[in-house]
Chain A
Amino acid sequence: MEQLEIGNAIYQTRLTSKFKNRKNWQRPDVRMVDAVIPGTIRKIMVKEGDVVTQGTPMLILEAMKMRNEIIAPIEGTIKKIHVSVGIQVPKGHLLIEFA
């Protein structure tokens, strides 16, 4: 039997796979730019080390036949680009990392 704590009491019980597979919530980090939708990287307009202002278009993520411009959420230095042109990314995939 597995255990589940509720109200300071520990219950002997079975856990479901849905419960076990749940993702622990993490506060979003503005320096990490993730894919908001699954799609294909069509174009990358910045390179590592670039200093960009907030709102600068960084790359084109094509999804559902729409070309989505991914813009810089903050002003800062681009530390690492985690994708390349032509690859398909799932939702939540890390695209660009700010320093």
Chain B
Amino acid sequence: MASTKKVQELKKRREEAQQGGGEKAIQKQVAMGKMTARERIIKLLDEGSFNEYDMFVEHEARDFGMDRKKLHGDGVIVGTGNIGGRPVCIFAQDFTVAGGSLGFMHARKITKIMDHSLKMKMPLIGINDSGGARIQEGVNSLAGYGEIFFRNTLASGVIPQISVILGPCAGGAVYSPALTDFVFVVDKISKMFITGPEVIKTVLGEDITMEELGGARVHSEVTGNAHFFSETEDECFGQIKSLLGYLPRSNTDVPARKEIKEPLKKYDIAKVVPAEKKQPYDVRNVIRSITDGSDFIEVQEMWAANIVIGFGTLNGSTVGFVANQPLVLAGVLDVDSSDKAGRFIRYCDAFNIPIVTLVDLPGYLPGVDQEHAGVIRHGAKVLYAYSEATVPKITVILRKAYGGGYIAMNSRHLRADFVFAWPDAEVAVMGPEGAANIIFRKEIATAEDPEKMREQKVQEYKEKFANPYVAAAKGYIDSVIEPWETRKSLLHALEVSGEKSVGMPAKKHGIPPF
């Protein structure tokens, strides 16, 4: 039995540590519209499940008067707990303690919990709210960042890693989130950049606010660095919880099975897609007409919206969806959409999540800006990711699949397991208009009425080649199905590929077109 006196001392020490940076600093945090680090953890984790470690860690800095300063928990709270009944490791930087600055022991607390998450195979959640390196600790602070980045990389593809940006995250600090799987940002609270507005102003004369430079919207719409955007911290925690519901604990685990429900009646698959190939529609409605209970959680919704990626469930199991979005830029592949899809495919493959690909694209986006931005290299990411993926890979061609875009979107040639096509699908080197212009150039040019001849030839080409049967005749398409048969066909395909196993040549690792 511990003596009453010793128990009293423990209580007192705990109480002190839980004060963080003290009343004044907490008031400041609240005034910024932010929760404290402890509140955030409590809100995010299942009730009563948080177990804190390293509460009594103290910094070792001696210079610049730091030896006289006590920093509770050294500015970061770490521990384990549950989300949706499944265990996670978590750390939250405490901005009220020395601005959440990262010193040597602060980093050691983080790396210790990271080591736990990798050893025990559970997701890691990092809440970032820090002014950056603790300058007083000099190179030791840099060492701390490096140790974190190294572990982020080791854990990549082994355990899900989630970064939540709930305050500033600047300079080198941004590289930990960048190395993790999913980055969550909150409007007006998150700020991420390598060099801040002040430096930019001095060196380059460009005048920009923090919000305009690296706010939540910028990273969700422009840079693609963030994956989930929300208006409030509460909404953000809700998003994290639902995302984790689709993910496994690690790459040797499978996601928890969900209840099987039929798609909602309001998403009628027969009516979503217009037969006219140049008319747009929202491909997310096709996804929702297929998934259990029409559930779908979209990743990077606001960036490169010409491709849609995200998770849903089929027969209770998590599936990753990759779909061209005709609603935006006609669903073309370009630099950003290739980058977005390529990374997501690799994510699914790393965590044994089957991939369903919905195809409807006119090809790649033409333009000097695209070519000069390296669309060759970026476009290759999609080919690489699909070819390399060994999880079950199923494709449904909804309407158009032209040229290089057809090959890239998980075609049979990249070892799709099943390729389905709807009766309206067109699989061809290019659309009828372009093809007729090339093949019948002479006839059109020499015709009495070139416009009429062009139309006639486009029609001819359409009748002959604009269908799924040319590809089906070669076995590139396994089955032509009616739209209403899509869910049924996918469920069956997933069921039979449950034990899929394919060999890959032995290698240390490939060289993807980063």
Contacts and interface: CB of A to CB of B under 8 A. Distances in A.
Contacts of B367: 22
A23 B369 contact: yes
A25 B326 CA distance: 26
A23 B363 CA distance: 22
B329 A9 contact: no
A7 B362 contact: yes
B158 interface: no
A64 interface: yes
Contact of B326 (A8, A13, A64, A88): A13
B369 A14 contact: no
Interface stretch (B134-142, B198-206, B389-397): B198-206
Given A6-B366, A16-B305, A22-B367, A90 B206 contact: yes
A99 B461 CA distance: 53
A6 B280 contact: no
Given A4-B330, A6-B332, A12 B278 contact: yes
B213 to A, nearest CB: 15
B498 interface: no
Interface string A41-68: 0000000000000000000000110000
Interface string A1-37: 1001011111111111011001111000000000000
B328 A88 contact: no
Interface residues of B, number: 34
B8 to A, nearest CB: 59
A38 B199 CA distance: 13
Contacts of B331: 13
B279 interface: yes
B496 interface: no
Nearest to A37: B204
A10 B329 contact: no
Nearest to A87: B205
B430 interface: yes
Contacts of B372: 25
A13 B305 contact: no
A9 to B, nearest CB: 4
B306 interface: yes
Contacts of B432: 9
B303 to A, nearest CB: 9
Contact of B329 (A19, A38, A89, A90): A19
B280 A7 contact: no
A9 B205 contact: no
Contacts of A18: 222, 336
Nearest to B201: A88
A97 to B, nearest CB: 22
A22 to B, nearest CB: 5
Contacts of A6: 330, 332, 362-363, 365-366, 431
Nearest to B438: A8
Contacts of B363: 6-7
B329 A4 contact: yes
A9 B368 contact: no
Nearest to A19: B329
17 contacts: A4-B330, A6-B362, A6-B365, A6-B366, A8-B431, A8-B437, A9-B433, A9-B434, A12-B278, A13-B331, A14-B329, A16-B306, A16-B329, A24-B368, A25-B372, A64-B203, A90-B206
Interface of A: 1, 4, 6-16, 18-19, 22-25, 38-40, 63-64, 88-90
Given A8-B434, A11-B330, A12-B280, 11 more contacts: A4-B332, A7-B362, A7-B430, A11-B280, A13-B280, A13-B330, A13-B331, A14-B329, A24-B368, A25-B368, A25-B369
Q: Which 3 A-B pairs have the closest CB atoms?
A: A7-B434, A88-B205, A11-B330
